[in-house]
Structures are given as structure tokens and as C-alpha cells.
Amino acid sequence: MRVVLAEDQYLLRDGLTRLLQAHGMEICAAVESGDELLAALRAERPDVAVVDIRLPPTFTDEGLQAALAARRERPDLPVLILSQHVEQLYARELLADGRGAVGYLLKDRVFAARQFVDSVRRVAEGGTAMDPEVIAKLLASNARDEPLGRLTPREREVLAGMAEGRSNAAIARQLFLSEGAVSKYTTSIFAKLDLPPSDDDNRRVRAVLAYLNGRVE
């Protein structure tokens, strides 16, 4: 798998390079600024881009803007955004086109190497990887929402897992349930939220995220 990495802090860039290479990925470009990133994405056409939001020269949201611009040129370009903090605002912008293949994680998540690499792979395959903290905020700000209020606590946990982009198997592992139980929960969740059921994991996740984001209006 070919990865373009954009991170201006040397230590972190070096650490991520080593980590991804140790898991069999190839870093075809490691850039430090938004302009370089855009150029690299056009030139290299990678399988996935791992991008820090805050990059020179302006140290605002250069990384995010470059990633969105690249996705406008090449839709479905998988992008995983890393940041020191997560904002619902940015999550919504990333999910706005509804096409998936997008991730938004706190930099803390790189501590857990295997899960981080799993997230990168998931995004590269067209899935989503949303940080649990941003999902928690999303659910909290939707707390007054009527249909969501009808979910049981377990169902909310499964919903959170789905919104993060995990597969049924991953959710089952995380919550110490059987896959069958998870499957049952997801069916009932979809029924309560009035969403069309789907077998495609990715489409399911997108439906959930669209629901959560669409309702915040």
C-alpha cells in the first residue's frame, strides 16, 4: 500500500514513517506543508494519505483544505486526518460529500499501533475511521433527538462503534459480544432510526454518519 504522509513535526513524521513501514506500507512521499501535499497527491496518486491538519505556512487548517481540494479533483481519494484536537465542524466537512474513504483521528491514537494501522487500512479500502471522541460529541449534541432517545444504552454503544467505522466483528470484540448479538443490535438500531438496512458495511456507516450529521441542523 502506498501512503503519502503530511506532518511538519519531525519526530512524529519519523515515528509514523517507521510505524507504517513496519506494517508493510510504502511511504512514497513525506511532506511538510499544504502546497507540497497537494502536489504530492497529484503526482504520486497514493492509496491513502495520512495528513496533519495544522501545517505551514499558515498553521491553520492547511492540511484539511489540501485534502478536501484533492478529493474534489479525485473523489474517493482515501484521506486520514490527524489532529491534536477534534472538532465536530471539521468532521462534518469531511463527511459532507457522503462518499466515505475518510478518517479523522486524534494523534493520541497512534499510541495503539495495531489499531491505528487497521484504521489506515480501513480508510484505504473505502471505509471510515472516526475518532471515538468526535463520535461521543456527535451523540451528545444529538442527545435531545427523539429517535436516538429510544435507543438502549447497549444500542448506543453499538451505534457509536458503527459511527467510528468499525465492522461488526470489531464492535463485537470491543464490547465483548458475539457477532450475532451485534448484528441484532444493528438491525434494531436501523429500525428505530428509520434508516434503510444494508449489508454493505461502508454504506451502513455512511448512513449512520449522515443521520447523525444531518440531524444537527
What are the DSSP E strand ranges found in the chain?
2-6, 26-31, 48-52, 79-83, 102-106, 128-130
SS3 state of residue 64: helix
Nearer to another protein, 190 or 211 (CB): 211
Nearer to another protein, 137 or 192 (CB): 137
Binding site for another protein (CB under 8 A): 53-54, 59-61, 84-85, 87-89, 92, 106-108, 111-112, 137, 140-141, 143-144, 216
Least distance CB 161 / another protein (angstroms): 19
Q: Rounded to whole angstroms, how far apart are CA atoms 54 and 57?
A: 9
How is residue 36 written as a grid cell?
507540497
Q: Rounded to whole angstroms, how far apart are CA atoms 3 and 26?
A: 6
Nearer to another protein, 60 or 187 (CB): 60
Nearer to another protein, 89 or 196 (CB): 89
How is residue 200 written as a grid cell?
454493505
Least distance CB 113 / another protein (angstroms): 11
Measured CA to CA in angstroms, residue 36 lies from 42, 62, 66, 88, 178 at distances of 10, 11, 9, 27, 46
Least distance CB 12 / another protein (angstroms): 13
Least distance CB 26 / another protein (angstroms): 27
Measured CA to CA in angstroms, residue 113 lies from 60, 118, 179 at distances of 27, 9, 24
Block residue for cell numbers 457477532? 179
Amino acid identity, position 7: E
Least distance CB 179 / another protein (angstroms): 26
Q: Rounded to whole angstroms, how far apart are CA atoms 84 and 82?
A: 7
Nearer to another protein, 35 or 44 (CB): 35
Nearer to another protein, 23 or 215 (CB): 215
